Amino acid sequence: MDIKNLTYLLLLLVYLVIPALLSMQKKVRFVIRLKYILPASIFTGAIFVMWDMRFTELGIWSFNVNYLTEINMFKVPIEEWLSFLIIPLSSVYIYEWLKTRFDKFEQPNIFVAVSLVIFVISAILAYIFRKNMFTFFTFFLISIYLGYTIFRNRFKKHYTKFYLAFGISLMPFIIVSATLNALPVIIYNTDHVMGAAILGIPAEKFAYLFMLLLINITIYEYLNERQHY
């Protein structure tokens, strides 16, 4: 195996940089929360892996084996499996750090309004690009899950920290995703994306990250607040 085959695997380490830096400034009681974080990550990861498997089979995206270890599980590279664990763990750490560091800073009404705008835009994009599989499913699922989250109205007090954590998580995400697309490690079928890109990253990927974090953190908070175990 050449060092080149470790490219995707090594890029995943970028997601750990910000949590490592934040841990030096203020400690977060992260380990004791793993009993809620891990179930949320595993459940959400299972959904995204099944999505990954199906879209790979359909040729909506593919992977360049030159940058992979070529260790696959159900036709999905091990790096993808790991990404659905590493990215949420990193983002939830940032989220918990923000809750600890800025516990008094809350703007729930502003972020409820932001959520409503995202909900409406997602629904519109899902309809307009209903023939583009990646675009449609990404924005359709966001509109469904975010709509449920908004109207259920139990996540309102967490919106501020969620959006801040999402914003911070975009920094490593952009570095990693821009590299993955530039090499390329992941290749998207142009028939199934809407064609809009930011720094070479398909716009759908930003929505994909948003949904990954939203599902993880809402489930995590549900378990954390009820403390069933």
Indicate yes or no: pTM above 0.85. yes
67: nearest Cα among 116, 130, 11, 129: 11
pLDDT, tens digit, for every residue of 42-59? 999 999 999 999 999 999
Across 39-196, the runs of DSSP E, i.e. the strands, are: 61-63, 72-73, 76-77, 186-188
- 110-131 in b/e form (b: 16+ CB < 10 A) is ebeeebeebbeebbebbeebee
Is a pLDDT exceeding 60 seen at residue 213?
A: yes
pLDDT of residue 228: 60
Q: What is the mean pLDDT of residues 74-101?
A: 94
